[in-house]
Amino acid sequence: MTSSAMGTPEQLRDPDYMPALGRAIPLGIQHVLAMFVSNVTPAIIVCGAAGIGFGSDQGALGFPDMTYMIQMSMLFAGVATLFQTIGIGPMGARLPIVQGTSFAFVPIMIPAVAGLGTAGLGGLMTGVVLGGIFHFFLGFLIGRIRYALPPLVTGLIVLMIGLALVKVGIQYAAGGVPAMEAGMRAIAEAKAAGVPVDWSTISFGSFAQWAPALLVILVTLAIKFFTRGFMAVAAVLIGIIAGYILALFMGQVSFTAIERAGLFALPNPFRWGFEFNAAIIIGMCFMALISAIETVGDVSGITKGGAGREATDKEIEGATFADGAGSAIAGLFGGLPNTSFSQNVGLIAMTGLMSRHVVTIGAIFLIICGLVPKIGAAINTVPINVLGGGVVVMFGMVCAAGVNMLSDVKWNRRNMVIFATALSVSLGLQLVPEALQHMGATAQILLTSGLLPAAAIAIILNLVLPEDAGE
């Protein structure tokens, strides 16, 4: 589809331009496909950590809580995107910004709900709401605090987010946490009884689990590097479809949840209640700051790639307001925090089309998906190992994005020491959480995520140490 067929160069750079519907609708859906897998994956991860996801007792009921959370991920990604594209007063950048559930918050959310079932979701949603409100008010400050977050700090934080998630990706690809724990119990029982381990009864890490995951990775890489345009953008989605087909032939797919799911359902406010948990609230507010900085980069990337100009202060502030409002409203209805999606920034540059109305069409499609439980149930039929193959690639890309940001750093002794200290302490606490077992539960959740100590150490040392330190 050529630029001349879409409109004049001036029209393509205009956020208020509306192409013909025959072209606008598929382009809007393409934006949804580019972010769809990433958008619903955090809900699946959080439910898995809470013990209400794949492999749990809820399977016999069709995973109602996980299906609902997936619905809310789609619905409120669409609502938050409308905040950005259409805007309400000062809220919204009025740019083609796609919102979605953020991976950045996952390392905070996993320890907050680990093994608690639905009982842990009330505290989580309270944190999402209050963190979203905090995020909203950052819109008034975002321009003034950017000096404290240079690439050395933001790159390290993004790298730590990726490192915190890669373990989850491997666990999923090998069969999921419930299968891993069942396997560990079987091995321990066999050793205690003094009998050989019956490996045929242990699914975690077996070839049957790894085969679909590896196919997802291989197909994703092949599509990404040997095709162009829409196919390349949807590489992860196509890889997951390939893995899904293999898993289906291997008998790993069940459609029971779809049969039980309804055709239409409205969001349920306060579904899991509210509970004040200081660790979750502090963690969410801290990650809101990180998310706000990411949004600044995304807005700048969209205006630079699509219109060849810098983002205005009004656009950056409006985008931050929309981020926070979208997260707070999602939390009220059982959804997870929203942020601008970086993968869609590349789509703007690729298509050369800045139309916010195209993204509005995608947002409406997301809202429709979120109101139909059968769609969420259909996503639940994707086996955990197939999803794992996709997230292994996505989480690795988060690490790569952090490394890319760090490439802008001047690597003198001062910056190397700041990076080394922050990385060693934060990654060490993440790998050996038992090192903080004598501290309170709140401190353990915040510090063992790796993100808070990494950011705190990097920010403080960067502000305190003079530029010529160590030279």
Q: Of 321, 353, 351, whose CA–CA distance to 338 is shortest?
A: 321
pLDDT digit string, tens, across residues 7-35: 677 777 777 888 878 778 877 877 776 67
Helices (H), 253-342: 256-260, 278-307, 313-332
Handedness of CA 218, 67, 49, 56 (dihedral sign): negative
Q: What percent of the chain has pLDDT over 90?
A: 25
SS3 339: strand
In angstroms, the Cα distances linking 8 to 27, 342, 446 are 17, 26, 51
pLDDT digit string, tens, across residues 149-172: 788 887 887 788 778 778 878 988
- At residue 470, φ and ψ (nearest 5 deg) are 85, -5
pLDDT digit string, tens, across residues 169-226: 898 899 887 788 888 888 988 888 888 988 888 999 999 999 999 999 999 899 888 8
Q: What is the mean pLDDT of residues 367-391?
A: 83
Contact present, 247 and 253 (Cβ < 8 Å): yes
What is the DSSP secondary structure assignment for residue 91, as one 8-state letter?
Answer: B
Q: How far apart are CA 238 and CA 242, in angstroms?
A: 6
Lowest mean pLDDT across 61-65, 166-170, 314-318? 61-65
pLDDT digit string, tens, across residues 127-137: 999 999 999 99
pLDDT given at position 390: 82
More confident residue, 267 or 20: 267
Number of other residues whose CB lies within 10 A of the CB of residue 34: 25
Q: Which residues pair with 338 in a beta bridge?
A: 101
More confident residue, 159 or 81: 81
Contact present, 309 and 159 (Cβ < 8 Å): no
pLDDT at 306 over 90: no
pLDDT given at position 79: 95
List the domain boundaries for the chain: 3-155+176-185+253-383
Contact present, 155 and 96 (Cβ < 8 Å): no
- At residue 92, φ and ψ (nearest 5 deg) are 105, 135
pLDDT given at position 1: 45
Contact present, 325 and 136 (Cβ < 8 Å): yes
SS3 99: strand
Q: How far apart are CA 160 and CA 371, in angstroms?
A: 35
Q: Of 315, 271, 263, whose CA–CA distance to 95 is shortest?
A: 315
In angstroms, the Cα distances linking 43 to 46, 74, 127, 350, 356 are 5, 10, 15, 29, 27
